[in-house]
């Protein structure tokens, strides 16, 4: 196949940052995706509806007038978030999920939740009024190996949440393991998962072989080859519980190539070509549209998009860097080739 046309996809997990940095990256997503769930972990996190409204306005302002890109906003959950705030957020029509970061799990998560019991009333309200809970599923205990943190989160916390709140819609974000795939498959249809381009492309050798590769470091960290294959199989399976979420997470080059390099892979400019290529390699291009364009919208109870995108098979080299405010950001597959290109 040399050309493929499908319904314009959405990105159900995206980091846009803020101000000039946001303005430098948002068009890379808007080029390929119609909508995106915008994560709230800014350095001043989006704790409230009011902050989300203001952030949304800044994003819309940064977009060129001619794009129809729609940011879907989220709120950052803390131990102090109230049920009333959740009700107001839902009523606003602009908030599509509440994001749970276990405190300390990742970038700007210090104000996240350290005891899930504190959120009982909020979870009950979300369950009742239909607000999805988006979860960064990793424990942070120092004695738990970083490669086991997703698995242990599922065992210790997620399995409890799904039993306690059976009607709560839960998205286990950026799944990385066979354990996560099996767990999500075993749950009711209220539990889904996003899958990134990097977690179906890379295994942990890509971080550590041939010298440390900081641009492949993200959280949850990429896992074994068997895990990568399990996650890729889930993505290409046609099971509507699994849908596209890039977790594209730009950091300035200096912050990545540092003694304490930040976690996050910047994939917006290449994510869709990578997904297409990986589905093609598996001989599963027929499953791409469901994964990229239908299942996430269905899970979030939003309409499917009407527009289409066309990609042609044509090799191109990914730029080594993109401007990022006063610095630059190195994308996934920098200076390497991708096989599919948007037909303009
Ligand atoms: O690698 C990651 N980067 N994982 C996350 O969960 C957050 C993200 C970021 O915001 O940088
Ligand atoms: Zn993320």
CB-CB contact of 265 with 332 (8 Å): yes
Residue 193 and residue 58: Cα distance in Å, rounded? 28
- C-beta 107 within 6 A of ligand 1: yes
CB-CB contact of 67 with 46 (8 Å): no
- C-beta 41 within 6 A of ligand 1: yes
Q: How far is the CA of 51 from the centre of ligand 1 (A)?
A: 20
Index of the ligand 1 atom closest to the CA of residue 262: 11
Of 205, 121, 116, the residue nearest 156 (C-alpha): 116
For the stretch 219-242, what's the b/e string if a residue is b when 16 or more beta carbons lie within 10 angstroms of its beta carbon?
bbbbbeeebbebbbbbbbbebebb
Question: What are the C-alpha distances in Å from 329 to residues 62, 318, 319, 323?
Answer: 18, 13, 10, 6
Q: How far is the CA of 41 from the centre of ligand 1 (A)?
A: 9
Of 261, 262, 287, the residue nearest 275 (C-alpha): 287
Residue 30 and residue 210: Cα distance in Å, rounded? 34
Q: What is the largest CA-CA distance in the chain?
A: 53
- C-beta 40 within 6 A of ligand 1: no
Options 10, 65, 247, 323, the catalytic residue: 247
Q: How far is the CA of 2 from the centre of ligand 2 (A)?
A: 32
- C-beta 15 within 6 A of ligand 1: yes
Q: For the residues of 85-129, what is the DSSP string, one character each?
A: HHHHHHHHS-EEEEEE-BTTSSTT-TTSBS-GGGGHHHHHHHHHH
Task: Tell me whether strands 95-100 and 133-135 are parallel, antiparallel or unpaired.
Answer: parallel
Q: 148 CB contacts (<8 Å, ≥6 apart)?
A: none
- C-beta 135 within 6 A of ligand 1: no
Per residue of the chain (344 residues), what is the pLDDT tens digit? 899 999 999 999 999 999 999 999 999 999 999 999 999 999 999 999 999 999 999 999 999 766 799 999 999 999 999 999 999 999 999 999 999 999 999 999 999 999 999 999 999 999 999 999 999 999 999 999 999 999 999 999 999 999 999 999 999 999 999 999 999 999 999 999 999 999 999 999 999 999 999 999 999 999 999 999 999 999 999 999 999 999 999 999 999 999 999 999 999 999 999 999 999 999 999 999 999 999 999 999 999 999 999 999 999 999 999 999 999 999 999 999 999 999 97
By most ligand atoms within 8 Å of CB, the mutation choice from 111, 219, 222, 255 for ligand 1 is 219
Q: How far is the CA of 305 from the centre of ligand 1 (A)?
A: 27
CA 1 to chain centre: 29
Question: What are the C-alpha distances in Å from 331 to residues 55, 209, 303?
Answer: 24, 19, 31
Q: Which two tokens stand for residue 289?
A: 């549209």
Which residue intervals of the chain are DSSP H helices?
19-30, 49-62, 83-92, 120-129, 149-153, 159-164, 178-186, 197-201, 205-208, 225-235, 253-256, 271-281, 288-289, 295-299
- C-beta 246 within 6 A of ligand 1: no
247 is catalytic: yes
pTM: 0.98
User: What strands lie across the sheet with 70-76, from one edge to the other?
Assistant: 11-14, 35-38, 70-76, 95-100, 133-135, 170-172, 191-195, 242-244
Model pLDDT, residue 64: 75
CB-CB contact of 175 with 182 (8 Å): no
Tell me which H or E stretch contains 314: strand 308-317
By most ligand atoms within 8 Å of CB, the mutation choice from 13, 39, 107, 195 for ligand 1 is 107
CB-CB contact of 197 with 231 (8 Å): no
The Cβ-side half-sphere exposure at 248, using a 13 Å CA radius, reads 33
CA 295 to chain centre: 14
Residue 285 φ then ψ, to 5°: -60, -25
Ligand nearest 41 Cα, by number?
1
Ligand nearest 246 Cα, by number?
2
């Amino acid at each position: 196949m040399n050309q493929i046309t499908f319904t314009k996809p959405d990105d159900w997990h995206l980091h846009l940052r803020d101000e000039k940095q946001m303005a430098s990256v948002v068009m890379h997503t808007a080029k390929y995706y119609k909508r995106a769930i915008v994560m709230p972990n800014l350095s001043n996190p989006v704790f409230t509806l009011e902050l989300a409204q203001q952030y949304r306005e800044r994003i819309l302002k940064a977009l060129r007038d001619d794009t129809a890109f729609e940011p879907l906003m989220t709120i950052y959950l803390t131990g102090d978030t109230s049920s009333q705030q959740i009700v107001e957020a839902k009523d606003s029509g602009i908030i599509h999920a509440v994001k749970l970061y276990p405190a300390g799990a990742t970038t700007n998560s210090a104000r996240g939740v350290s005891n899930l019991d504190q959120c009982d009333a909020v979870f009950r309200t979300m369950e009742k009024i239909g607000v999805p809970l988006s979860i960064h599923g990793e424990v942070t205990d120092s004695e738990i190996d970083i490669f086991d943190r997703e698995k242990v989160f599922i065992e210790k916390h997620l399995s409890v949440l799904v039993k306690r709140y059976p009607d709560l819609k839960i998205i286990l974000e950026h799944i990385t393991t066979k354990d996560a795939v099996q767990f999500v498959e075993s749950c009711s249809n209220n539990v889904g998962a996003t899958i990134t381009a990097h977690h179906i492309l890379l295994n942990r050798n890509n971080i550590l072989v041939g010298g440390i590769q900081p641009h492949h470091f993200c959280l949850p960290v990429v896992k074994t080859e068997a895990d990568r294959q399990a996650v890729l199989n889930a993505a290409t399976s046609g099971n509507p519980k699994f849908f596209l979420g890039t977790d594209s997470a730009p950091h300035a080059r200096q912050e990545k190539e540092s003694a304490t390099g930040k976690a996050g892979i910047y994939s917006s400019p290449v994510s869709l070509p990578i997904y297409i290529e990986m589905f093609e390699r598996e001989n599963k291009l027929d499953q791409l549209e469901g994964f990229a364009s239908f299942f996430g919208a269905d899970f979030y109870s939003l309409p499917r998009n009407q527009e289409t995108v066309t990609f042609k098979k044509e090799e191109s080299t990914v730029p080594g860097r993109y401007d990022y405010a006063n610095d630059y950001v190195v994308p996934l597959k920098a200076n390497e080739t991708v096989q599919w290109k948007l037909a303009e």
